[in-house]
Amino acid sequence: MAFDLIFFKNKNDKTKLQEIVDYFDALPNFESKTYDDLNYSFVYFNENNDVYFIINYNLAYNLENQELTIPDDYEFSYLVFTINYLRATFFAKEAIPLVTEFAMKFNLLILNPQTDHLSLSTYSVDELINSYNSSNIAYCKEFSEQIPLRVLANEKSNYAYTYLNEYKKIQSTIEDQISVPKMQFLKDTSDNNVYTAITWNNAVPIILPKCDFVIVLKEVKSLFGLVKKQKPCVIEYEVIMQEFANLLQPFEHTVEDLFILPIESSNQAKVIFYALPDTTFEDLESVNTDDFIDFEI
């Protein structure tokens, strides 16, 4: 199941399909795909936060509902936006502003099939985000009666989303020797809760965002000492903050609660790093950003 928005254009509009292709090709994170003369897809994927959605152009698409209220001077554009349900709220937060900007650029009116009044409108960003969130919650409630859903606390989700949108920018402003890790997500298979985590490799200098767990990768030698291997340990964030309290420094940024382990503290950090307990949490497994929600149902 998915949330759809259907676009209508003025009958006198002379925009050519290639102009729309060029528009999306010029935007970051979009890829235009053509399958035949009747079917184009404009696929959005943000590799920083793994948000994705699609806008399809399909001349074979048929509007089945005959109760639509369409102004005489408008017609179906054969363009449809689609974003799946069972998603965290930041999917719509990222997608909807891009959709409304597209509609404004080409003077398109929007039909929102999720509403009771099937008429065309120029929706605001907030109106469409609220519509998606309401429909998403309703579908998640129905779905969860059959299969339990994994849930990340909304406050943690919002922080992770903000950090994921900034971490590469942070990396570009500091020394290459300092790691700025990507935020990742772990599910607890025993209760379906989702947690945030980062990976820290071999005590390298690092920017440390607020998270639930730090996956520590220690380099260890094999049995005969010929090959170095990485031994993962899962450490709670609070333990890391306590053990490295004398070395970590606040890092000023629009993203809150960031700390830096500076390069000059590397040798001291390595001693503490390799003394960390070799703990693991057997119930924790990696999970993708499209495999959890961030609200209670």
Assess whether pLDDT exceeds 70 at residue 224.
no
63, 183: one domain: no
280, 185: one domain: yes
Q: Confirm if 211 and 220 have CB atoms less than 8 A apart.
A: no
Interhelix angle 154-164/89-105, nearest 10 degrees: 50
The predicted pLDDT at position 165 comes to: 98
- CATH number where 110 lies: 3.30.310
12, 140: one domain: yes
Task: List residues bridging with 217 in a β-sheet.
Answer: 201, 232
> How many structural domains are present in the chain?
2
For the stretch 18-65, pLDDT in tens is 999 999 999 999 999 998 877 999 999 999 999 999 999 999 888 876
- Assign 8 a pLDDT band (cuts: 50, 70, 90): very high
**Which tops the pLDDT comparison, 227 or 222?**
222
In a domain, 294, yes or no: no
Rounded to an integer, the average pLDDT of 11-16 is 95
Kindly state the helix (H) or strand (E) to which residue 130 belongs, with its residue range.
helix 125-144
Percent of the chain topping pLDDT 90? 83
The predicted pLDDT at position 44 comes to: 98
In a domain, 221, yes or no: yes
Assess whether pLDDT exceeds 70 at residue 227.
no
Instruction: State the residue range of the domain holding 92.
Output: 2-144
110, 175: one domain: no
β-pair type (213-221, 194-201): parallel
In a domain, 206, yes or no: yes
CA distance 269 to 274: 9
Assess whether pLDDT exceeds 80 at residue 66.
no
* CB-based burial, 203-223: b 16+ in 10 Å, e otherwise: bbbbbbbbbbbbbbbbeeeee
Backbone angles phi, psi at 21, to 5 degrees: -60, -45
Q: Which of 80, 112, 144 is the last residue of a domain?
A: 144
- Assign 220 a pLDDT band (cuts: 50, 70, 90): confident
For the stretch 183-201, pLDDT in tens is 999 999 989 899 999 999 9
160, 191: one domain: yes
Q: CA-CA distances (angstroms) from residue 31 to 36, 46, 55, 201, 244?
A: 16, 11, 10, 33, 43
Residues 6 or more apart in contact with residue 225 via CB below 8 angstroms = none
CA dihedral 288, 99, 167, 29 (to 10 degrees): 80
Assess whether pLDDT exceeds 80 at residue 159.
yes
100, 227: one domain: no
167, 86: one domain: no
Q: Which of 105, 123, 144 is the last residue of a domain?
A: 144
Q: What angle do CA 275, 280, 284 make, to 5 degrees?
A: 145
In a domain, 292, yes or no: no
The predicted pLDDT at position 61 comes to: 86
Q: Which of 122, 144, 166 is the last residue of a domain?
A: 144
In a domain, 293, yes or no: no
For the stretch 91-123, pLDDT in tens is 999 999 999 999 999 999 999 999 877 889 999
Q: Confirm if 48 and 288 have CB atoms less than 8 A apart.
A: no
Comparing 81-90, 228-237, 240-249, which segment has the lowest mean pLDDT? 228-237
34, 107: one domain: yes
63, 195: one domain: no
What is the average pLDDT score of the chain? 94
20, 129: one domain: yes
The predicted pLDDT at position 90 comes to: 98
The predicted pLDDT at position 280 comes to: 84
**pTM, full prediction:** 0.93
121, 162: one domain: no
